Amino acid sequence: MTIFNTKHKKILSLAVPAALNSLLDMLQIITDLIMVGRISAFAIAAVGLGLQSLMFVFAILTLLHVGTSAILSRFVGARRMKRASLGLSSLIRFAFYLSIPVTLLWYLLSPMVFVWFGTAIEVIELGSSYVTMLTIMLPFIFVKMVFVTALNSAGDTKTPFYIKLVSIFINIFLNWILIYGNLGFPMLGVEGAAIATVIVNILELLVYIFLYISKKTPFIPMWYYSKSIVSRALKVGIPASFERTLTFGSFMLFTVIIAHFGTETLAGYQIGLRIEGLAFMPGIGFTIAAMTLMGQGLGAKNPDLARDDVMLVLKYTTSFMFVLGLFMIFTPEPIVWLFTNDPQTIKEASLYLQIVGFSQIPLAFNFVLSGALRGAGDTKRTLKINLTSLWLVRIIPAFLLAYYFESVLLIYLAMISDTFVKAFFLWRAFDKGEWKKIKV
């Protein structure tokens, strides 16, 4: 009984703060949507599409997230903290170097997203100012990602949670004064939301740097650079990043389909995505725990322990997301009302939530098993599974259904079918156990 309780305590001590941190991360993002939602449907569509286009940046960040986690968690599991510290130092520098070309490309290309999607002129104007302002925060986000992942890999998920908890209140306050023009500040609307987001991300990184330099993290502060460690991280991270990039690209194509149904449908879809994020961001928190425990278990040369830990994380995740799925199915309208009071937008967002509510359990399988396989370095397998299902089950059928039937409901059904198919194949890959033989 003691061993049983210890195992649950270990997993929950990792998963719960990580889950709450991911939830707060999504809340920080949707704060912009909530607070601009009272301006107009154009503002919702502009911010929502801007945030969705930012997913391309997060796809590149997956390289840092997965690579850092796979390498550092194994060093921690093997109790090689000096080596882990060298890895952190190397990946911090690499993250900064990587952020420079990404920032330049984002500045040049991101405003064009609104034109490519054929959105209304009001959405183009508001969205362009929003994403251009976000350019400033990209280098800070890249370096911050390495710090957060490193702490998670060492089993410290509480520190990122506490930092995010404080930052979300700062973000709300800054939104209040900059969006609406309170306390003598000019009323900046959508651009004010972007400025607030930039300021908060800069402050978060400064806190991580202070903790690192002050030796208040498990890692030794240093400024060395190991090409071999970065190369090992890239070997694992590049397939995961490539997968995420193509996945988000396909999501953008999916958004193109939705955009043709009108501004209200697009706004409802964007709100639905953000609300669904309240469900799967905690799921991602448990995924972080699965990835960390997998890496630590393999680093300690105990793959059976790693498998048992992942299975227990999966049980917690499915239970949690099942409950949230029930709320989506049976009470979508009150949740959507927090974002907008436009009747048609509420109707469209509620339809989306009711459909995706039925896919929350397989979605839990997708999150946890993908994370576990990535933590083992099996990123090429997850790449094949996710992309094959995404295109053959979701994107291509969605285009065909939109062309022949003009029904957004059928498109949403194709979307959740992809979730079920991926869950099946990821489970098969995990259950076979070939990940135990992979060297990172």
The answer on pLDDT for 15 being more than 60 is: yes
Helix (H, G, I), strand (E, B) or coil at 332: helix
pLDDT of residue 207: 97
For residues 336-343, average pLDDT: 80
- Looking at residue 37, its pLDDT comes to 66
Query: Is the predicted pLDDT of residue 139 greater than 90, yes or no?
Result: yes
For helices 121-134 and 41-53, give the axis angle rounded to 10 degrees.
40
The answer to which of 8-22, 181-195, 311-325 has the lowest mean pLDDT is 8-22
Note whether 73 and 296 are within 8 A (CB). yes
Q: Which of 313, 434, 311 is nearest to 376 (CA)?
A: 434
| Across 87-115, average pLDDT | 88
Per-residue confidence (pLDDT) for residue 119, from 0 to 100:
64
Token representation of residue 148: 């957060």
Q: Does residue 1 surpass a pLDDT of 50?
A: no
Rounded Cα gap, residues 393 and 366, in angstroms? 15
Report yes or no: 329 and 357 within 8 Å, Cβ to Cβ: yes
Q: Compute the distance between CA of residue 402 and CA of residue 392 in angstroms, rounded to an integer.
A: 15
Per-residue model confidence (pLDDT) at position 112: 74
pTM for this prediction: 0.81
Cα separation values, 348 from 123, 209, 336, 400, Å: 18, 43, 10, 21
Domain count for the chain: 1
Mean per-residue pLDDT, 194-210? 93
What is the pLDDT averaged over residues 1-22? 73
Percent of the chain with pLDDT strictly greater than 90? 39
Is the Cα torsion angle 150, 153, 156, 157 positive or negative in sign?
positive
Provide the pLDDT for residue 213: 95
Is 286 within 8 Å of 18 (Cβ atoms)? Answer: yes
Position 230 scores a pLDDT of 93
Question: Distance of CA 119 to CAs 241, 264, 269, Å?
Answer: 28, 11, 14
117 confidence band (pLDDT: 50, 70, 90): low
For 185, other C-beta atoms within 10 Å of its C-beta total 15
Give CA–CA dist 322/277, Å, rounded.
14
pLDDT at 96: 95
pLDDT of residue 396 exceeding 80? yes
DSSP 434: G
Q: Give phi and psi for 41, each to the nearest 5.
A: -65, -30
d(CA 407, CA 402): 6
Give the rounded percent of residues in the chain with a pLDDT score beyond 70. Answer: 94
Per-residue pLDDT band for 18 (boundaries 50, 70, 90) equals confident
Distance CA 284, CA 339 (A): 23
For the ranges 193-202, 385-394, 404-413, the lowest mean pLDDT is seen at 404-413
CB 150 within 8 A of CB 222: no
| Residue range 65-85: mean pLDDT, rounded | 92
Q: What is the pLDDT of residues 236-286, one digit of tens each?
A: 999 988 888 877 777 777 777 887 777 778 888 878 877 887 766 777 778
pLDDT tens sequence across 215-224: 999 999 998 8
Mean per-residue pLDDT for 169-185? 89
Task: Report the alpha-carbon distance of residue 152 to residue 236 in Å, rounded.
Answer: 17
Task: Inform me whether the pLDDT recorded for 4 exceeds 60.
Answer: no
Higher pLDDT, 261 or 118: 261
**pLDDT of amino acid 21:** 82
Q: Which residues form the domain of 277?
A: 2-437
pLDDT of residue 307: 93
Average per-residue pLDDT in the chain? 86
**Range of 25-39, 246-260, 300-314, 333-347 with top mean pLDDT:** 300-314
Distances (CA, A) of 219 to 39, 161, 440: 46, 18, 21
H helix intervals, 180-262: 190-213, 227-259
pLDDT (mean) for 217-237: 91
pLDDT of 92 above 70? yes
Which residue, 183, 174, 244, is CA-closest to 204? 174
C-alpha 17: how far from chain center: 16
